[in-house]
Amino acid sequence: MAKSHRISNSLKGALVADAASMGTHWIYDTDRVAKIAKANGGSLAFIPTDEKNYENTKGYFAHANRPKGTNTQYGEVLRTAIMSVLANSGKFNTVNYQKDFAAHFGPGGTYIGYIDYATRGTLANLATEEIDPSGTDDTQLPALSSLPAVVAVDPSSIEAAVRVTNNNDYSVNAGNIFSHLLNAVLNGAELNEALEEASNIGEEEFSDLLKAALASEETDSVAYGQITGRACNLVMSVPLCFHILQNTNSFVNAIEANSLAAGDNAGRAIVIGAIAGAYYGFNNDKGIPQKWADELADADEIFERCDAMGAITN
């Protein structure tokens, strides 16, 4: 597969995975999630958001206004980054991206939905022209949401992209790990080799958690989520992403396993979907299913943009 196709499939994979995960996003009760899956024929992909699924259990119903097939705030960040890169002649420009981010998520913007802590803090900083950097001190998954688009065109801008929303060294470390992993897969590396190599990047504390995830004899990511934790913090989510990617063998398997692992499945879906999309491809036995792609809102339009991002490398 050509690198241009891997880039396109990576972006498509992240967006499809995020949207597929929204129906159970932020339910932390794995038993409840398993029951929802059973009630939906064994799959959690693209189930409608339903507040009843969140009743009498640990969770947060954040997406009442987001119809089935749309993206969570994580996917909307990635969409914004893709559009910003394409509008800037195929390059990532921090200032232009900050303007596009504010225009989409800020007052009067086109996004209607949940605003997380990092986005809220970033918008406040941008409103007061605090732009270098504009991010808030946060160590959660919004740090990674834009990165599939940035890695595709300019891996050297990872730190700048992370600090747009997450002005924190730990978040930058996680961004570098994800960037290293995705860049390796985009260049044709075997997934297990890329995971192993990426586990050696960055701070020892983080590296040890990733190595433990890859070395664990526990192959069930639902169970392993009990070890890592299932919340939005990068110290929990990135090791769980590594565990899921190592212990699944297709795009569908990876995304379903991620949703069954519960918690911030949508935030993790950007990472897992980007890697699995690039590695397994599109519309084949192991790749992104066409029927899932058809569920994504505005799929034709955004997939055209994903293909344009891939074409930048030619």
Query: Rounded mean pLDDT of 36-40?
Result: 97
pLDDT at residue 86 is higher than 80: yes
Give 261-273 pLDDT, tens digit per residue.
Answer: 999 999 999 999 9
Q: What is the pLDDT of residue 185?
A: 98
202 — pLDDT class (breaks 50, 70, 90)? confident
Q: What is the pLDDT of residue 65?
A: 86
With vertex at residue 9, the alpha carbon angle to CA 284 and CA 135, rounded to the nearest 5 degrees, is 150
Residue 253 lies in a domain: yes
Residue 7 lies in a domain: yes
Residue 97 lies in a domain: no
CATH number of the domain that residue 203 is part of: 1.10.4080.10
Residue 113 lies in a domain: no
Residue 137 lies in a domain: no
Q: What is the pLDDT of residue 277?
A: 98
Average pLDDT, whole number, for the chain?
Answer: 97
Residue 92 lies in a domain: no
> Could you tell me if 164 and 146 are in contact, meaning their C-beta atoms sit under 8 angstroms apart?
yes
pLDDT at residue 314 is higher than 70: no
pTM for this prediction: 0.97
Supply 46's token pair.
């693209």
Q: What is the pLDDT of residue 263?
A: 98
Which percentage of the chain shows pLDDT scores above 90? 96
β-bridge mates for residue 288, sequence order = 282
Residue 105 lies in a domain: no
Q: How many domains does the chain divide into?
A: 1
Residue 134 lies in a domain: no
β-bridge mates for residue 233, sequence order = 140
Domain enclosing residue 281, as ranges: 3-72+144-155+167-311
129 — pLDDT class (breaks 50, 70, 90)? very high
Q: Give the position of tokens 């392993």.
A: 224
Q: Give the position of tokens 């189930």.
A: 47
60 — pLDDT class (breaks 50, 70, 90)? very high
Give 213-241 pLDDT, tens digit per residue.
Answer: 999 999 999 999 999 999 999 999 999 99
